[in-house]
Amino acid sequence: MRFLPVLFPLSLVACAPAFAQANADTYREVVAHGVVMIFPDFEIDVSFKPDGTFTAMKGASKGKWRIEDNKLCSTPDETLMETCAVYPAGKKSGDRFVIPAPRQDVTVRIP
């Protein structure tokens, strides 16, 4: 249970979808390279697999992801609560961007 506070932002981060939306290039990069979610005191590496699963925190968290419309949606196995976020278009490996979130905005880097 000690990971639960981390899981909300992790769940912002998604069956291999047809990338038809404007930000499809970003989602291709995210699936290919994963992301690093950056917080003031720690970072979380997230890896996405083409089969629609993800792992994070060195395998301590796992779940499912998907693309719906222009959003990346994820559901950690620990909470079974799906959350979705729109990632900006045109991002590639090495880029950073901020995803607005209700509790705290999350800085994301594509390694």
Q: Which of 82, 89, 79, 78 is nearest to 65 (CA)?
A: 82
Per DSSP, helices labelled H in the chain are 4-10, 24-33
pLDDT of residue 87: 95
Q: Which of 46, 27, 30 is nearest to 38 (CA)?
A: 46
| Burial of 111 per CB tally in 10 Å (0-12, 13-18, 19+) | exposed
pLDDT of residue 99: 93
Q: Which domain holds residue 28?
A: 4-109
Tell me the backbone φ, ψ of residue 30, rounded to 5 degrees.
Answer: -60, -45
56 three-class SS: strand
pLDDT of residue 101: 84
* CA–CA distance, 90 with 6 (Å, rounded to integer): 27
Q: What is the mean pLDDT of each run of 10 residues along the chain (111 residues)?
A: 44 42 88 95 95 95 94 96 94 96 91 97
Number of domains observed in the structure of the chain: 1
pLDDT of residue 21: 64
pLDDT of residue 23: 85
Provide the whole-model pTM: 0.78
* CA–CA distance, 26 with 31 (Å, rounded to integer): 9
CATH at 41: 3.30.700
* CA–CA distance, 17 with 45 (Å, rounded to integer): 22
